[in-house]
Structure 1
Amino acid sequence: MAEIRPLLVAFDSFRPRASHRLRLMRESPGAVGSGQGLAAPWELRLREDFFSQFGPAVLPVPESLEASRLYLALKLSTRYMDEGIREAAQELFSAPAFLASVSLSVLVYFAAWLAPEPLFSKAFAAALTVRLSLLVGLVELSHLAMACLRLYQEAEAATTPQQLEAASERFGKSLGGTLLRVLVVVASLGVPQVLPKVPEDGIWTLLSPLRHAPTGGPGLESITMAHVVADGTLLFTGVAAGTSATSFCGELTTCAVMDDVGGGPRLSTRYGKPHTRQNPPHNEAIEKELAGREAAGHTDLRKNRPQLNAEGKPLDDPALARGVRFRKPDVSSVRPDGVRHNTNYVSNPRDMQRELEAFEAMLRADTSAIHELYLLDGTLVRRYVPPGVSFPWMGR
């Protein structure tokens, strides 16, 4: 909690103290906030900051954010967040200026993700999109955007407190620690006056200036446009594109960027050659998982290579399913406790049967290893954990 205090102080200073005065309000029974009324001067300044940073709003902005359904739904949602983040979220969302910033981030930035192929043409928004995608992944960003859209739609449609509460509950339960942090980052970066007062360490390191300068390459703020195409590839243009893309991939382990002049997307190859150039998201999911395992102390990191046992020897499928002699897990590593961990991803649901057959073949070949099968969006399809093996491992 101590880490968020400076952020709260900064937002509190942005919103001047209101003097105590009597307010007469007329509200019909069961009514919920509609956003009617005039915005306070501090809110108008906050809007100007957001629009100057991110560009114009995609969704309608209410006359008063503090009186809007979205604002109230966001505040209520903290009740339903996981216990590990609930206290910090309630503390943050208790600050009116911060909560107004979160509301604007939904209306201005996350709403831009709702297009079939989102395009961020404002330089600041483009650089932020690239940085967040490198840090948490495009899938996570799109999930957060969809959760924000659903909350906005359900809040706008709510005509009773019960309906608004239900929308808040769905949103709160969908927001894990990572997505909450991304929401906080976007909300905070929309207000430049707040940034100098934010600490430079702890869990708020993402709030530092948007800059990443690999050796020999320029910073991320030189990016001028970010475009997420239908297959999930992130393309960006600007001074950085085509000159430091390799450095980005090498240091941050996950990216798919486009040169300024022609060519296709460059895929991450830190852990081995591209899985397939026709499916960049699949390759990036593999690279991201291997990076996480390396950070957790796993060894023998393997990308799309023949299945091995705990002794490091090749394994054949005894049943030779579909005539395949051995399998190639997308991700394979050995945990610090010596247990091998194999993972495959399904890109196309139409290939599910084939992937399930491969999963069973890998299990037949080695029942002493952990085997997992996921969709690219992180949904678990199948998992096998050997008897006596802890999962998840404490260090993972």
Structure 2
Amino acid sequence: MRIRTLPEGQLRLTFPPPVLHPDLARLGVEEVRPLLSAFDSLRPRSPLPLRLLEMPGAVHSNRSSAASWESRLREDFFSLYGPPLLPVPESLETSRLLLALQLSTRYMDDGIREAARELFTAPAFLVSVSLAITVYFAAWLAPEPFFSKGLAAALTVRLALLVGLVELGRVAHACLRLYQEAEAATSPQELEAASERFGRALGGAGLRVLVVVASMGMPQVLPKVPEGGLWTLLSPLRHAPAGGQALESIATAHVVADGSLIATGVAAGTSATSLCGELATCMMTDGEGSASGGGPKLSTRYGKPHTRKNPAHNEAIEEELARREAAGHTGLKKNEAQVNAQNLRVNNPNRQAKPRFRKPDVSSLRPDGIRHNTNYVSNQKDLRRELEAFNAMVQADPKAIHELYLLDGTLVRRHVPTGVSFP
């Protein structure tokens, strides 16, 4: 991502085409249960009286006023995100939108369906999602969405850093389409069809975004969620939320037609590293668009740059090492001579072979004592050479895990020793 400084405390964030981390495609029940326990503090006295529309043209069933627990949620959302930009039913707990959300879990991918069912049977969570759609995601109806409320602005920037601006906009428009089609439905079949379109469009990253936006509007719930719990839903590459305090001063966020995002009120002196968190794959530029210091700032947290000619390769290494450190790995090495689990150098068994030893891009020791080596291929023209290196590393240390990836995250080859578990 490129960050360009503009006058009067503005930053322009330009995002490359998104390549979402594969971990985001799935969401397990165990990841959402701590959050669900927090939502239990706002449990309605009786089950929600949800029912399908009885006939075409039927009027809305939500005639009664909102319950006290729902009123509390509304107050929270409106104070933090601003007033609703779409009509909000008098009682969301019996609305078509809420029912459509429940029905949509039938059509979600296998990797997220069970977690979605757990979430979408929690009344307080469903009402929070409904409010998020009418208050936050409704802003994406504008050709160039503009967020002027502090929380909404900072949240937009943070979500864009974590999943990309394109993915964030895609989730928003799926939510808005569900709202519009649910409101316009005149039969159970039309409501079911709207739910199916939403369920199939959401995806794992989309569900995670939905959870974060809905939860951020409930400050009385957040203290009960384990520290960092919300952001770990969207951040498989780091153990700290992107931006941290660097985002707290953001006043507005404006998504412009060229696909970039302009943030105002950013604290003076904010750096790419402090804004992007530990991922640190951002490049700062000056007001004219040239890179500060004459070129990209390469991450060096885990060692000197792999190569200055290929910043993406270096950043992929740094990201992987950050993820492993967060997972409790030790013996972190960046582009160093291959070693085994005992930290002893291992050479190619063929004494005549050159080079005598290999240098994994990423190497670490898992908590269970298994060495884990990973290499990346930047140019597919080099794939044959990289496969030869992969085979040499496996021969040198068959007791280690070895992986070879393309830079876009595509797995090329993997070796897992017999009896070793690998997620």
Same fold per TM (> 0.5)?
Answer: yes
Match of 2:36 in 1: 8
Q: 2:112 aligns with which of 79, 85, 94?
A: 85
Structure 1 residue 229 displacement after superposition: 1.3
Distance 1:2 1:19, change over 3 A: closer
Q: 1:240 aligns with which of 267, 282, 288?
A: 267
Is residue 340 from structure 1 mapped to residue 373 from structure 2 by the alignment? no
Tell me how far apart the structure 1 counterparts of residues 104 and 115 of structure 2 sit (CA, whole Å). Answer: 13
Structure 1 residue 266 displacement after superposition: 7.5
Amino acid at match of 1:18: S
Distance 1:293 1:4, change over 3 A: closer
Tell me how far apart the structure 2 counterparts of residues 204 and 93 of structure 1 sit (CA, whole Å). Answer: 20
Amino acid at match of 1:5: R
Distance 1:27 1:134, change over 3 A: closer
Amino acid at match of 1:72: L
Deviation string for 1:277-323 (max 9, x for gaps)?
xxxxxxx99998787677789988xxxxxxxxxx9xxxxxxxxxxxx
Tell me how far apart the structure 1 counterparts of residues 284 and 131 of structure 2 sit (CA, whole Å). Answer: 28
Retained in 2: the 8 A contact 1:33–1:67?
A: no
Amino acid at match of 2:225: V
Is residue 34 from structure 1 mapped to residue 60 from structure 2 by the alignment? yes
Amino acid at match of 2:43: R
Structure 1 residue 6 displacement after superposition: 3.2
Q: 1:52 aligns with which of 37, 58, 79?
A: 79
Amino acid at match of 1:36: N
Partner SS, residue 223 of structure 1:
coil
Tell me how far apart the structure 1 counterparts of residues 59 and 231 of structure 2 sit (CA, whole Å). Answer: 32
Distance 1:295 1:250, change over 3 A: closer
Q: 2:217 aligns with which of 187, 190, 198?
A: 190
Match of 1:121 in 2: 148
**Taking structure 2 as the reference length, what is the TM-score of the superposition?**
0.60
Deviation string for 1:163-189 (max 9, x for gaps)?
111111111111221211110010011
Q: 1:175 aligns with which of 182, 197, 202?
A: 202
Partner SS, residue 253 of structure 2:
strand
Partner SS, residue 230 of structure 1:
coil
Match of 2:176 in 1: 149
Using CA pairs under 8 Å that are at least 6 residues apart, name the structure with larger relative contact order, 1 or 2: 2
Tell me how far apart the structure 2 counterparts of residues 32 and 393 of structure 1 sit (CA, whole Å). Answer: 57
Tell me how far apart the structure 2 counterparts of residues 228 and 151 of structure 1 sit (CA, whole Å). Answer: 22
Tell me how far apart the structure 1 counterparts of residues 211 and 284 of structure 2 sit (CA, whole Å). Answer: 26
Tell me how far apart the structure 1 counterparts of residues 254 and 215 of structure 2 sit (CA, whole Å). Answer: 23
Q: Which moved more, 1:30-39 or 1:193-202?
A: 30-39
Retained in 1: the 8 A contact 2:92–2:127?
A: yes
Amino acid at match of 1:55: G
Tell me how far apart the structure 1 counterparts of residues 189 and 154 of structure 2 sit (CA, whole Å). Answer: 39
Q: Which runs of 5+ in 2 are unaligned?
A: 1-28, 300-310, 325-332, 336-353, 355-360, 364-372, 387-404, 415-421
Amino acid at match of 1:34: H
Q: 1:71 aligns with which of 70, 84, 98?
A: 98
Tell me how far apart the structure 2 counterparts of residues 186 and 168 of structure 1 sit (CA, whole Å). Answer: 20
Partner SS, residue 84 of structure 2:
coil
What pairs with 1:315-330 in structure 2 (closer than 5 Å)? Answer: none
Distance 1:269 1:105, change over 3 A: farther
Tell me how far apart the structure 2 counterparts of residues 287 and 235 of structure 1 sit (CA, whole Å). Answer: 27
Partner SS, residue 151 of structure 1:
helix
**Taking structure 1 as the reference length, what is the TM-score of the superposition?**
0.64
Structure 1 residue 247 displacement after superposition: 3.2
Partner SS, residue 235 of structure 1:
strand
Structure 1 residue 118 displacement after superposition: 1.3
| Identity of matched residues, % | 60
Retained in 2: the 8 A contact 1:11–1:194?
A: yes
Structure 1 residue 131 displacement after superposition: 1.1
Structure 1 residue 36 displacement after superposition: 3.3
Amino acid at match of 2:222: L
Structure 1 residue 16 displacement after superposition: 3.8
Amino acid at match of 2:250: I
Tell me how far apart the structure 1 counterparts of residues 88 and 158 of structure 2 sit (CA, whole Å). Answer: 26
What pairs with 1:254-293 in structure 2 (closer than 5 Å)? Answer: 254=281, 269-271=296-298
Tell me how far apart the structure 2 counterparts of residues 122 and 296 of structure 1 sit (CA, whole Å). Answer: 32
Tell me how far apart the structure 2 counterparts of residues 19 and 70 of structure 1 sit (CA, whole Å). Answer: 17
The CA RMSD measured in Å over matched residues stands at 4.3
Structure 1 residue 65 displacement after superposition: 0.9
Distance 1:227 1:57, change over 3 A: same
Tell me how far apart the structure 2 counterparts of residues 289 and 157 of structure 1 sit (CA, whole Å). Answer: 46
